[in-house]
Amino acid sequence: MLTRIDVRGRRDAELSAALPRPEEPGRAERETVASIIDAVRQGGDRTLLELTEKLDGVALERIRVADAELHDALARIPEELRQALLVAHRNIAAYHAYEMATVPDFVAHGLRIRHLVRPVDRVGCYAPGGRARYPSTVLMCAVPARVAGVQEVVLCVPPGRDGTVDDATLAAAALAGVDEVYAIGGAQAIAAMAYGTESVRPVDVVVGPGNRYVAEAKRQVAGAVGVASAFAGPSEVVVVAAPDTPASFAAIDLAVQAEHGPDGLAWLVTWSEEKASEVEAALERIVAESPRRDDLASTLARGGYSCIVDDAEHALAVSNVVAPEHLELLFEGAETLLGSVRAAGAVFCGPWSPASLGDYVAGPNHVLPTDRTARFASALRADDFRRHLHAVSAQPSAMETLGPAVETLAETEGLPAHAASIALRRARLREEGAR
């Protein structure tokens, strides 16, 4: 079920070459997404309805979900689910508020520089649908936007077979303060939010995970809108197991990520061949008993690996090459190895810290970089919904302390007006001082 890889004794470039890399989006995917984006830009709502019927098998009369449906759904869902959503909402909001620490003004050399932060005006959130429903993703996308001060938050989610959006998703949208919900999914939803249609006004930033077509659409519209959290595509995990890690813990956590569907990655990394065999056997039993065994088996066959390494540090070297969305260090004392972690969307330390906590209620975002983009990208943050400006205020003394350097640099670059803007002010100060 897992493809066994033995990289013992391999380091650096040799290690990187020995590990499989994720597939790049194929030409067919790129062309399909490009044609969808172009069709939506040209045809607007009519194209969205046609694509929803063609791709999702649902004939809709309108794409926007009535506002009343959100609050009705919040009242309809079971009390246990409502309380769970409230716990998640509280922790997500608290963590993202903590991230937004105020930066003090900088004062030196006769200058005062104010750090100004402004939220974007309108954000588009995408929550996947189809194989499962993801109210947690609605909270993870919309709550940080609200914490950041965004005034308008919209949500796109694929409709169910009956043409509606399920109550759990709508309830989460109501709880998070989403302003507009649209029953559209796929690349066409990203195109609608990026460029607008008759019903969907364009947004400033698009966030949220999705399948490879959704992720490719975000690549193609980047620049027309802000796209946060890099390539938030199919789910990934690297589970690092020590010889004393419970095999059942490692196996179920591999299944957790494979459960999300096709194109994901599930890596077991261990320095114990015996432990690898135990985990593989436990995983086979979990898959055989799962109601989603076909999806699990398919994902693991394509993206499941069991990697044998020399030791814990070597395991981290493998993980840094994979640069996973989730990294689980399932052994005691894992925090001592955090200094060796260079590329991961989120790290979960110890056998009692499964990624499922982060998926729902820990507070940090579960919208994470995938497809090796954790090498340069980070988890979705409240700051992804804000713009940073600076305001410079100079005292006359700055003309003498800093002005000569400006004049020298400007003259070196052949920009005499830049130099003159300082020289004129310095001359005025000398005149005033002579009076």
Options 216, 325, 328, 407, the catalytic residue:
325
Q: What is the per-residue pLDDT across 294-317, written as a single tens digit (0 to 9) for each? A: 888 988 998 999 999 999 999 999
Residue 325 confidence class, pLDDT cut points 50, 70, 90:
very high
Q: What is the per-residue pLDDT across 404-424, written as a single tens digit (0 to 9) for each? A: 999 999 999 999 999 999 999
Alpha-carbon 320 to chain mean position: 18
Q: What is the per-residue pLDDT across 250-286, written as a single tens digit (0 to 9) for each? A: 999 999 888 877 778 999 999 999 999 999 999 999 9
Residue 215 confidence class, pLDDT cut points 50, 70, 90:
confident
In terms of Cβ atoms closer than 10 Å to its own Cβ (0-12, 13-18, 19+), residue 389 is exposed
The mean pLDDT value for 44-68 works out to 95
Residue 233 confidence class, pLDDT cut points 50, 70, 90:
confident
Q: Decide if domain 233-367 falls under CATH 3.40.50.300.
A: no
The mean pLDDT value for 68-97 works out to 94
Q: Nearest CA to 347 among 371, 321, 373, 319?
A: 319
Percent of the chain with pLDDT over 70: 97
Q: Report the CATH fold assignment for 27-228+382-387.
A: Rossmann fold (3.40.50)
Query: How far apart are the C-alpha atoms of 179 and 152, rounded to whole Å?
Result: 6
**Mean pLDDT for all residues in the chain:** 92
List the chain domain ranges.
27-228+382-387, 233-367, 396-434
- CA dist 285 → 227, 269, 273, 288, 420 (Å): 39, 19, 19, 5, 77
Please indicate whether the domains covering 27-228+382-387 and 233-367 agree at the CATH topology level: yes
Respond yes or no: is residue 418 known to be catalytic: no
Q: Lowest-pLDDT range, 58-62, 162-166, 225-229, 408-412? A: 225-229
Q: What is the per-residue pLDDT across 171-188, written as a single tens digit (0 to 9) for each? A: 999 999 999 999 999 999
> What integer pLDDT is reported at residue 232 of this predicted model?
67
Residue 153 confidence class, pLDDT cut points 50, 70, 90:
very high
Residue 292 has pLDDT above 80, yes or no: yes
Q: What is the per-residue pLDDT across 87-141, written as a single tens digit (0 to 9) for each? A: 999 999 999 998 887 767 889 889 998 888 899 999 999 999 866 789 999 999 9
> What integer pLDDT is reported at residue 210 of this predicted model?
87
Options 89, 260, 326, 366, the catalytic residue:
326
Respond yes or no: is residue 325 known to be catalytic: yes
Q: Residues 175, 139: contact at Cβ < 8 Å?
A: yes
